Amino acid sequence: MQRRQALALGAVAGILPTIGASAVAATPASTSGTKVPVRTRPIVIRDVEIGAGRTKTIVSLIEMTPDAVLSRARLLGSMGEVDVVEYRIDFLDRALDPQVVAATMRPVADAIKGKPLVVTFRTKAEGGQKAIAPAQYAAVYQAILQTGAGDLFDIEAALLSDPAVAALRTSVQAAGRKVILSHHDFAVTPSVELMVGLLRQQQALGADICKLAVMPHDTGDLLRLLEATWIMRRDHGDRPLVTMAMGGIGAVSRLAGEAFGSALSFGALGDPSAPGQVKVAQLRDTLAIVHDAIAG
């Protein structure tokens, strides 16, 4: 994981000169208000508007067998507090077999009853369940794409240097689906400058949604993540962002994302898919309270 983090940060250093030194300028936050700038272009997926209004809830399918995944998908499809469903492919026992994975897609998409479906294979290097070579990673996603199921595809930005993964991103968007480019650091919280740089890199690489998850060790780390989110939204971002600080300290970032510019918040139903997730019913209620307060 440390090698992947170094590669990602090196990539940021390489791309920053091409997108402007202002990408890493940690300028003070404006005091004129906390509303997200209206220049953000929301994404509408199956009547769910991501990037405008209340931060939307998302819950992950993390079961290990197709039958268990389908059972949980039916439950999520019936829950009004769940806006978006994420299918964590890497939790499947046979996640490395493209055809086995592809066969699960249409039943899952039908079971969630029209909710937007995010497809994610989180690699071991970024906190997922399984190690996978980039070519195999792309093959699994390409097989899923061919089924016509899945609305958004989470692709780890650090893998885009591989030609097969770069071609995957192009294929997903050519098929009319959306790409989430993501970066996860389960060890530390980088500097504000580097976090803004990572998000700007994702935007420059063609992400429809930019995602960043980091691990805080104290409140200062949490505040840096929130500051980076707001700077990105205020000064650079023209598309939805999803950011979070993990663990208990980071819970504030999951609950108050709308104030800083985060469009989705992961909630738990049973076992969480990442540290610090709040139960989805409580999360939805809190997000609504925050939204009403911001709206005045």
- Residue numbers annotated as active site: 184, 211
Residue 111 dihedral angles phi and psi, to the nearest 5°? -70, -30
Say if CB 189 and CB 174 are below 8 A apart.
Answer: no
* 273 labeled part of a ligand binding site: yes
What are 119's two structure tokens? 């497809």
Q: Which of 190, 135, 130, 183 is nearest to 155 (CA)?
A: 183
* 94 labeled part of a ligand binding site: no
- E strands along the chain, which residues? 43-45, 48-50, 56-61, 84-88, 117-120, 152-156, 178-185, 209-214, 241-245, 264-268, 278-279
How far is C-alpha 76 from the chain's CA centre?
A: 19
By three-state DSSP, how is residue 17 classified?
A: helix
What one-character DSSP code corresponds to residue 130? B
Polymer length of the chain: 296
Secondary structure tally for the chain: helices H, strands E:
10, 11
* 234 labeled part of a ligand binding site: no
241-245 and 264-268 strand pairing: unpaired
What are 169's two structure tokens? 């991103």
* 86 labeled part of a ligand binding site: yes
* 87 labeled part of a ligand binding site: yes
* 141 labeled part of a ligand binding site: no
* 233 labeled part of a ligand binding site: no
Checking phi first, is residue 247 left (phi over 0); if not, alpha (psi -120 to 50) or beta? left
**Which residue reads 């989805």 in tokens?**
280
* 258 labeled part of a ligand binding site: no
By three-state DSSP, how is residue 165 classified?
A: helix
Binding-site members are 60, 86-88, 122, 254, 273, 277
> Binding-site residues for 3-dehydroquinate, please?
60, 86-88, 122, 254, 273, 277
